[in-house]
Structure formats: C-alpha cells, structure tokens
C-alpha cells in the first residue's frame, strides 16, 4: 500500500513535533519542514533590528520582506536543518529564550501568518513532505492525507525544553520556562487567526508518558494504515 504523500504534524511547544517529524521524514525519505522556524526567524530578526514585537505593522512588513531559507544541516552540531535569514545562519539564535517568549505574539499577527503560510503551502503542494507546526492540518495543508496532533502535559513539555536548553550548555530556569509555556499555550489557542487546535480528522497522540521510540512507532503505525 502506498504511503500518504503529505503528512501534517501539529501540537503545542515541546510536544515532540520536531523530533518525531524529523525522524519520520528520514524513515520515509521525505522532505522535513518545521514551519515554526519561519516564525522564529521573523521574531529573531525583529529583535535584532530593534523592531518592537508589539508593532504589528512593523513586524508584518518584516515578514513580507525577509528572505527565509531552510536547508539540510550545513554544520554537524546536532541541528536538524540550517535556517538562513537574508543569508545569515540563525539556526541556534532562533532557539534563544527571548525568541521563545516573543514568537507566539508574532505568529498571532494575521499579516505575518499570511506571508509565511503562502510559502509553506508551496512546499506542501510538492508532496512527499512531513510538515510540522501549529496549523498545518487546519490551515496550511487541510487536505493532507495524514494529520497527527501530538500533545503532552505543560509540565512535561516545560521539562523537555529545560533539558534541551541545559544540554546546549545554556542557563535555564524550569519555573520561568513553565510560566512562559503556559502563556504561549494561551496565546496560540486563543488567537483569532489559525488558533492551535487539532484538525477534526487528526490522530491525537498524548506523548506525556511516552519515549521518542514509542511515539515514532505509533505514528508509523498510522502512516502504514493511512489511505492516501
């Protein structure tokens, strides 16, 4: 039986989307595309250029003008991909705490989402892609053959993000991360444009008590029984 050509994986921060999406794409020899990096790139560049993240018009203009490129890893430092903004490698900068704090408000701006969604759809139309984000199954690829929604308790997701930051050798405070993650969840789920929610036909998997291998096995089971 043929595999689904377009696979959407959605879910809140640190639910396992990026890890599972990358591994699944590798297993299937598909393109892996994490759409969240585009919103993070806009946030980082806005901060660097002194654009107030509360300035919706300014941030939207930036999203419409900036050239964001996502490629295969160019450095063997654990990255899943390399992210360029106007030619500059910002792969690790977009994972900094200030980006974590600012990306949800930025991604809630309708103009920003419109500018980036158009690029994401073009990638999805080519097929043989695992696309990861927060509105892939509901907005970007609503006709994807398989839609997965990964979730986990906010406490577990904060613990994962804490460990991720510490493993990079950077300072991290679990309570601060937990508070910020709760805030991000609220913004993402309550925004007017493309709120975070499972598609009506998505497979929902709670990863709170599951390891990476267990989640990947469950997702692959759905890939194998999906009807493309």
Predicted pLDDT of residue 218: 97
Higher pLDDT: 181 or 73? It is 181
Rounded Cα–Cα distance for residues 107 and 198 (Å):
17
Rounded Cα–Cα distance for residues 145 and 151 (Å):
20
Alpha helical stretches, state H, 29-170: 36-48, 56-65, 97-107, 110-125, 154-167
Helices (H) and strands (E) counted in the chain, each on its own, are 8, 8
Predicted pLDDT of residue 228: 60
Predicted pLDDT of residue 84: 93
Share of the chain above pLDDT 70, in %: 99
Predicted pLDDT of residue 14: 93
Rounded Cα–Cα distance for residues 184 and 138 (Å):
19
Q: What is the residue-averaged pLDDT of the chain? A: 93
**pLDDT confidence tier of residue 227, bands split at 50, 70 and 90:** low
Share of the chain above pLDDT 90, in %: 79
Predicted pLDDT of residue 113: 93
**pLDDT confidence tier of residue 78, bands split at 50, 70 and 90:** confident
pLDDT tens column, 116-167: 998 899 888 889 999 999 999 999 999 999 999 999 999 999 999 999 889 9
Predicted pLDDT of residue 69: 86
pLDDT tens column, 181-222: 999 999 999 988 889 999 999 999 999 999 999 999 999 999
Domains along the chain with CATH numbers: 6-215 (3.40.50.300)
């Amino acid at each position: 039986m043929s595999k689904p050509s377009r696979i959407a994986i959605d879910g809140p921060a640190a639910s396992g989307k990026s890890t599972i999406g990358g591994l699944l794409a590798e297993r299937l020899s598909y393109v892996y595309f994490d759409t969240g990096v585009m919103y993070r790139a806009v946030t980082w560049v806005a901060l660097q250029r002194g654009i107030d993240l509360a300035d919706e018009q300014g941030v939207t203009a930036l999203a419409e003008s900036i050239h964001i490129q996502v490629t295969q890893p160019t450095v063997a430092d654990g990255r899943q991909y390399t992210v360029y903004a106007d030619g500059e490698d910002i792969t690790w900068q977009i994972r900094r705490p200030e980006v974590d704090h600012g990306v949800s408000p930025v991604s809630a701006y309708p103009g920003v989402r419109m500018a980036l969604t158009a690029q994401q759809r073009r990638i999805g139309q080519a097929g043989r892609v695992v696309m990861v984000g927060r509105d892939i199954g509901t907005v970007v690829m609503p006709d994807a053959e398989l839609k997965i929604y990964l979730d986990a308790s906010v406490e577990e997701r904060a613990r994962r993000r804490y460990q991720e930051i510490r493993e990079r050798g950077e300072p991290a405070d679990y309570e601060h991360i937990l508070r910020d993650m709760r805030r991000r969840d609220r913004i993402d789920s309550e925004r007017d444009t493309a709120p975070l929610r499972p598609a009506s036909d998505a497979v929902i998997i709670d990863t709170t008590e599951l390891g990476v291998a267990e989640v990947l096995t469950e997702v692959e089971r759905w890939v194998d029984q999906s009807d493309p």
